[in-house]
Amino acid sequence: MRYYDKLVFELGKSGRVAFSLPEAKTGAVIPAELRRSSSPALPELSEVDVVRHYTNLSQMNFGVDTGFYPLGSCTMKYNPKINEEIASMPQWQGIHPLQPDSTVKGVREVYGKMERCLSAITGMARFTFLPCAGAHGELTGLMLMRAYHESRGDSARIKVIVPDSAHGTNPASAAVCGLQIVVVKSRPDGRVDVDDLKPLLGPDVAGIMMTNPNTLGLFERDIKQIAQLVHDCGGLLYYDGANMNPLVGVVRPGDMGFDIMHLNLHKTFSTPHGGGGPGSGPVGVCEKLADLLPSARTSAYNGNFSVILKAYAYILMLGRENVRMAGRLATLNANYIKESLKDVFKLPVEGVCKHEFVFDGLIDDGSSTGQNGATTLDVAKRLLDFGFHAPTIYFPMLFHQSLMIEPTETESKETLDSFIEVMHKIAMEAKNDPSILHNAPHNAPVGRPDETLAARQPVLKFTV
Amino acid sequence: MSKVLEGIRYSESHEWVKAEGNIAYIGVSDFAQSELGDITYVDVPGEGEIVTKGVEFGALESVKTAADLVSPVSGKIIEANGSVIDAPELINQDAYSAWIVKVEMSDPSEIDTLLTPEEYGNIAK
């Protein structure tokens, strides 16, 4: 990889253009006092310079098309190219959200059929496609939770219970929605402690937010009992769909007792994720909340249609029979890595996991050599040298050296084996000479940026 | 191995308190700073704010995570340490000299309910 770190502002020359726009005729429309007196300082480049700039930058990137990406709780699964092909069809690309309904019947049909698919997969009665990401879905779902209680004149319900292993977005979304957060502890086996939950329940509880399987990749076996307890106190259950991948076609949140949920189409349903977005976080509700759906108007128009279309393509590609295989293979892959590496990494909770699991750092971090021990950060940095994306690190915060691995279903045994081999090699290096890890990465274009300096004295704009 | 200073008291949420009469200096322990890593931001209310024992009153942000500050005593903040707010690295350099807020305690006997250095040393591992 050739190192490339130029900014587009550093390129080009005054007067150079890639595209010539016709002269603007807006002068008469925009009042003089609103017009700028000088030209904006935009980069001036030829088309080929622009193309090379962004191509060079893109080659510095690492994506799921480049290599293995075991980022726990993010479900960085491969995005089948047929999804893109279908979403790129000119019949979809030219549409506008404001064109008359009668001219976009096909789009309406996709929304309708997708809603039926998601309802069948989750056991929810209705879905809204407005939310454009997971956290956006959480906020929408919590607004529906509030609307439900308020519609019954039950305005004292201001608390949301969140497990200590929850995704950070859960308490954050609850806070944005004006609700108070109460934390329920996990038991040593990594599941929600029902005995700790019971005293938290009461007439002030709006609901509980749960991920199942949770962030340790463990199925919450007591979910039926938890649902009963929460419903008995008048609260609702919110399902965070971030970890839905292993359950598709196997178990339905609606059957577990959840009332509201979101799905991350950009995780579970194979649409691009992260910087490759945009995302989509459809929210489903059970029958008793269905009439409230229109009250949570959290985006303009009707969400990110192209993402919904890609996810619909994924579901149809697999079909009812095969969609359940994805989660099963993801579960098999995760357990294969876990069992293959637990001789060198600490596994805090034994047993079968679902699609992901968490190690708590190295068993032998090399501190017996007299040097500082190798940390989870060091392991993650060293992985980059071998062409793997690092797993999620230091989350969940239940452990000090969390290393959260999610391989997804699309990886071959050969890919898994080469990852396992590299992780063993790294563990051996740590044991014998942790300095190799402290100084990693050795091959990446950027080593260890000074995160502290960047956080304390951020430089937020380019200056010549 | 993180340091536990003698002569002061600790909370289970890793704050330390040094009492001088009814005035309490509050900071976070050496164990807390080493767990957090480089601290980049100290978010605390200013003079006059009421704090309650066991209740969150501010937060620390580090490169790794963010953590609530939980008040080990009840009372009124009479000063937030401007030097530490301007330079959060002081907490990483010496957690026990970098006090974060100074509180006028409403009930100085609360100090006796906090952990001794020996008790705290047993949990901060």
Q: Give chain A positions within 8 Å (CB) of B84.
A: none
Q: Are A394 and B61 in contact (CB < 8 Å)? A: no
Residue B115 is given by DSSP the state B
Q: Chain A: residue nearest B64 by CA? A: A394
Q: What is the DSSP string of A38-57?
A: S--------HHHHHHHHHHH
Q: Chain B: residue nearest A376 by CA? A: B64
Q: Chain A: residue nearest B35 by CA? A: A400
**A241-279 residue pLDDT tens:** 999 999 999 999 999 999 999 999 999 999 998 765 689
Peptide bond into A97 cis (omega under 30): no
- Cβ neighbours for A76, distance < 8 A, ≥ 6 positions apart: A64, A69, A70, A273, A274, A389, A406, A408
N-term to C-term CA, chain A:
27
Q: How far is B90 from chain A (nearest CA, A)?
A: 13
pLDDT of residue A244: 97
* Interchain contact B41–A (C-beta under 8 A): yes
Q: Chain A: residue nearest B40 by CA? A: A456
Q: Chain A: residue nearest B38 by CA? A: A452
Q: Give chain A positions within 8 Å (CB) of B65.
A: 394, 397
Q: Give chain A positions within 8 Å (CB) of B89.
A: 452, 456
Q: For residue B69, give the 3-state DSSP assignment.
A: strand
With CA atoms as reference, report the closest residue to A280 among A248, A241, A250, A315: A241
Q: What is the pTM of this model?
A: 0.87
List residues of chain A with CB under 8 Å from any CB of chain B.
394, 397, 400, 451-452, 455-456
**A162-175 residue pLDDT tens:** 999 898 899 999 99
pLDDT of residue A20: 83
Strand partners, A71: A405
User: How many angstroms separate the CA atoms of A28 and A20, rounded?
Assistant: 21
How long is chain A? 464
Q: Are A456 and B61 in contact (CB < 8 Å)? A: no
- Containing B98, the helix (H) or strand (E) segment is none
Q: In terms of DSSP bridges, do strands A283-285 and A260-263 run parallel, antiparallel, or are they unpaired?
A: antiparallel
Residue A353 in tokens = 């996991």
pLDDT of residue A25: 72
Q: Are A397 and B65 in contact (CB < 8 Å)? A: yes
Tokens 């620390």 -> residue: B60
User: How many angstroms separate the CA atoms of A169 and A303, rounded?
Assistant: 20
Q: In terms of DSSP bridges, do strands B9-10 and B15-20 run parallel, antiparallel, or are they unpaired?
A: antiparallel
ipTM, 2 decimals? 0.71
Low-confidence ranges of chain A (pLDDT < 70): 1, 26-28, 275-277, 464
User: What are the Cα distances from residue A20, in Å, to A78, A431, B20?
Assistant: 39, 61, 73
Q: Are B64 and A394 in contact (CB < 8 Å)? A: yes
Q: How far is CA B17 from the centre of its chain?
A: 6
Q: What is the average pLDDT value for chain B, to the nearest integer?
A: 94
* Interchain contact B43–A (C-beta under 8 A): no
- Containing A105, the helix (H) or strand (E) segment is helix A105-122
- Cβ neighbours for A145, distance < 8 A, ≥ 6 positions apart: A160, A206, A207, A236, A238, A259, A260
Peptide bond into A434 cis (omega under 30): no
Q: How far is A429 from chain B (nearest CA, A)?
A: 23
Q: For residue B47, give the 3-state DSSP assignment.
A: coil
Q: What is the DSSP string of A367-397?
A: GGGTSPPP-HHHHHHHHHHTT----EES-ST
Q: Chain A: residue nearest B1 by CA? A: A372
pLDDT of residue A1: 58
Q: Are B63 and A394 in contact (CB < 8 Å)? A: no
Q: Are B40 and A400 in contact (CB < 8 Å)? A: no
User: How many angstroms separate the CA atoms of A338 and A56, rounded?
Assistant: 37
Return the residue in B36, B39, B60, B63 with the most chain A beta carbons within 10 A, the one to mutate for interface testing.
B63
Q: How far is A201 from chain B (nearest CA, A)?
A: 20
Q: Are A452 and B61 in contact (CB < 8 Å)? A: no
Strand partners, A241: A263
Low-confidence ranges of chain B (pLDDT < 70): 1
Q: How far is B20 from chain A (nearest CA, A)?
A: 32
Q: Residue type for A229, please?
A: L
User: How many angstroms separate the CA atoms of B93 and B77, rounded?
Assistant: 24
Q: Give chain A positions within 8 Å (CB) of B88.
A: 456
In what order do the strands lie in the sheet containing A402-405?
A357-360, A402-405, A392-393
User: How many angstroms separate the CA atoms of B34 and B92, rounded?
Assistant: 7
With CA atoms as reference, report the closest residue to A129 among A105, A146, A112: A112
Max Cα distance, chain A (Å): 77
Q: How far is B59 from chain A (nearest CA, A)?
A: 15
User: How many angstroms separate the CA atoms of A140 and A131, rounded?
Assistant: 7
- A132-159 exposure pattern, b = at least 16 Cβ within 10 A, e = fewer: bbbbbbbbbbbbbbbbbbeeeeeeebeb
pLDDT of residue A400: 87
Residue B95 in tokens = 């957690």
N-term to C-term CA, chain B:
8
Q: How far is A400 from chain B (nearest CA, A)?
A: 8
Range A374-377 contact pairs with CB under 8 angstroms and sequence separation of 24 or more: A374/A429, A374/A430, A374/A434, A374/A437, A374/A438, A375/A401, A376/A401, A376/A402, A376/A403
Q: Give chain B positions within 8 Å (CB) of A396.
A: none
Rounded (to 5) percent helix, strand, coil in chain A: 40, 10, 45
pLDDT of residue A275: 66
Return the residue in B14, B36, B38 with the most chain A beta carbons within 10 A, the one to mutate for interface testing.
B38
- Containing A249, the helix (H) or strand (E) segment is none
Q: Are A394 and B65 in contact (CB < 8 Å)? A: yes
B63: nearest CB among A397, A400, A455: A455
pLDDT of residue A27: 63
Q: Are B40 and A452 in contact (CB < 8 Å)? A: yes
Q: Give the count of alpha carbons within 13 A of B9, CB side only.
A: 18
Q: How far is B61 from chain A (nearest CA, A)?
A: 10
* Interchain contact B118–A (C-beta under 8 A): no
